Amino acid sequence: MALRDRLRRVLQRPGSTDIAPYERIVAAAGELEPRMRDLTGEELAAAAREDLAGLCAAGREAARRAIGERPYDVQLLGTLALMNGQVAEMATGEGKTLAGALAAAGHALRGERVHVLSVNDYLARRDAGWMEPLYTLLGVSVGWIGQETAPDGRRAAYAADVTYAPVSEVGFDLLRDRLATDPGDVVQPAPRVALIDEADSVLVDEAMVPLVLAGAAGGPAEGDGRSYAELVRRLRPGLHFATDEEGRNVRLTSAGTREVERALGVDLYAPGGLDALTAVNVALHAEVLLRRDVDYIVRDGAVKLISESRGRVALLQRWPDGLQAAVEAKEAVEASPSGEILDSITVQELVGRYPVRCGMTGTALGVAGRLREFYGLEIAVIPPHRPRIRVDEPDRLYATAVDKDVAIIEEIAAAHAAGRPVLVGTPDVAASERLARRLDRAGLECVVLNAKNDAEEAAIIARAGAPGAITVSTQMAGRGTDIRLGEGVTAGLLVIGTARHHSGRLDDQLRGRAGRQGDPGTSVFFTSLEDDLVTRYAPGEKAKAPADDEGRIESKGAHWIVGHAQRVAEGVDLEIHRNTWRYHHLISLQRRDFLAERDRVLNGDAADRLMRERHPDRHAELGGDVAGAARRLLLFHLDRCWSEHLAYLADLREGIHLRSLGRGLDPLTEFHREAVPAGKRLLDRARDRAAAAFAELAGLDEVDAGTRRPSATWTYVVHDNPFGSMDERAFRGLVSLVRSRRS
């Protein structure tokens, strides 16, 4: 047995943990299964509490009774991985939802409060409703939260043993709780277990996405934004502005600078010209680098961002205010409200609050290093219930995008003529619509699933496996619905990728739509040396081998270029993650100290003691609920100082790059040099302000008037990226402009 275990460890997939102990527990659960048939619900719950074998056996019987499904052994393996605080990699169609529910019930039966974090409202609502009979049979309460859930509904959902919710809503509730001025207003209990669906998407792709709570601070300057948008629209590429090779930055040329200065009547480099220079650069970035139907769509009179990793509208997501306003001006839509940031938290910091973390996804091994580095999570690769027989064909590489497009149409036409369903994955909305038009001209009817019609998602996917169906879709991650083959489809689903994604995991997620549960299926990717992936991440690589008459290239060296470009893209993404976390980690440490003080004020007598110490005579004179007044005063000034500190850090982070580049200094070191002392002064500044305000009170009735909070608050997600964000692109553009002006 020792030799077998050593061989297993040698042969198991790199980055994964040994599941042999779980297999032994599942085998023991199989022996217990007959005894479970006659137990009541309460007795099943008691058996599930005894040990992990009892959990598996009782959970299997409960699922059979409650929802008519008997979990496979591999689903129980996934449950055990989740119980052990790991990420279970389970292929599409292998029953992750049920495995996750059994694990959530297992944690809850052991006294742990569980949050099942999903990627959207639809999955939270669907899975909570689907699994509710199972939870009820085991005596576990369940609730769910969506964007439209009212405060009382949220409080009730969080009071349940298991709560299903989009990760963004959990973050927004936390931010709102952090502004509570009465302990009774808090809706979210202390976290314990986070069970994360689509774990790689949440923990990696969206790890550093800031969730923001903002407060009203006046309306946007719509007129100015429109005028700058009109100005940059008249500028000519190559003459007035130039973009870098990667298409990640744009800058005015000398001719462009002269044209802008003539149009505005200002010297962009004079002491008073910085605001105009920044506005022009932001407008230029919005006009040139952000593409409609690629980075965003316009729907219902508003700009809607598109999630690159999910291919759908990123609900509540927006760029930082300046860039958001610039894009809205570009598209001539009503400007969205702007305001000061009251608080924010990244997804990574949010998940890091949970003492126990686990998750499930179909594609975890590709980011095993990141899950371990940032979350301390290991991966358990769960084998499929039935062997996978899907055929993954080698990539078909073409010299040009035109040759590739012709080949894709021919491949789709051939499969359609044979009655085979086809799922075609495209990188963005614009590409999906271009392909749909080409198919229409070729006499091939298709259905398009992208960010513009994602509300029809379930219905479209339900028909995608019908004989001869052609479905064109943007990224398939987090769709949450399997494609079931129609009657008479013997060859299985054909999945065609029209380009390699910037992450191999997204390619695997597309492939995984075929061959579910042992079904037949085929996947193939069509690529070209003109694809965005290659031109952006391997611009200097050239294929030496010639193409054939159809433009196809068979050379291993040419195929290496595509793989190399994808590896470079993944490496860049990892460095972005690390670099962003280095900045946010300091902020999270300062936030921890701030929240500890705020908790002492909200739930203790810290404010009352402060006023007694600073102004004992005034404290005695005021009478009445002095403690309550002191608490409200100090909470107000703590929150104001924290909001001001966040604004200071945001400005510091943007400006630090300009100063450090000019001096050859490390931006992160310089950021810490100024941010650390500022953080240490924060609490004392808030106490001083509150004490000064307390001393000036004529009566307690003045407290509420002096602590008015924003008349309106709202939540959103910032589309932020330290290397590729528009703010930092703009500042890199400023550096280039200054240098060109001086030369």
What are the tens digits of pLDDT across the range 321-359?
A: 577 888 888 888 888 776 788 899 999 999 999 999 999
Is 64 buried (19+), middle (13-18) or exposed (0-12) by CB count in 10 A?
Answer: middle
Give the pLDDT score at 729.
Answer: 39
Structure-token pair, residue 653: 């982070």
DSSP letters, 105-157, are HHHHHTT--EEEEESSHHHHHHHHHHHHHHHHHTT--EEE--TT--HHHHHHH
Could you give all domains of the chain from N- to C-terminal order, each with its CATH number? 2-215+348-381 (3.40.50.300), 220-336 (3.90.1440.10), 391-569 (3.40.50.300), 604-711 (no CATH)
Backbone φ, ψ for residue 228 (5° rounding): -65, -40
Give the pLDDT score at 321.
Answer: 59
Structure-token pair, residue 708: 């008015």
Give the pLDDT score at 303.
Answer: 84
Give the pLDDT score at 10.
Answer: 42
Give the pLDDT score at 735.
Answer: 37
Widest CA span in the chain: 95
- How far CA 78 is from CA of 81, 94, 131, in Å, comes to 5, 10, 16
Print the SS3 string covering 339-408: EEEEEEEEHHHHHHCCCEEEEEECCCHHHHHHHHHHHCCCEEECCCCCCCCCEECCCEEECCHHHHHHHH
Indicate the SS3 state at residue 294: coil
Q: Rounded CA gap, 243 and 732, in Å?
A: 12
Q: Rounded CA gap, 255 and 235, in Å?
A: 10
Q: Which residues of the chain have pLDDT under 50?
A: 1-11, 218-223, 309, 720-743
Q: Rounded CA gap, 33 and 64, in Å?
A: 11
Indicate the SS3 state at residue 7: helix
Q: Rounded CA gap, 332 and 326, in Å?
A: 10
- Condensed to tens digits (0 to 9), the pLDDT of residues 410-449 reads 999 999 999 999 999 998 878 888 999 999 999 999 998 8
- Contact between 171 and 194 under an 8 Å Cβ cutoff? The reply is no
Structure-token pair, residue 134: 């199972």
To the question of pTM greater than 0.85 for the whole model, the response is no
Give the pLDDT score at 732.
Answer: 38
Q: Rounded CA gap, 302 and 6, in Å?
A: 59
- How far CA 459 is from CA of 456, 463, 495, in Å, comes to 6, 7, 19
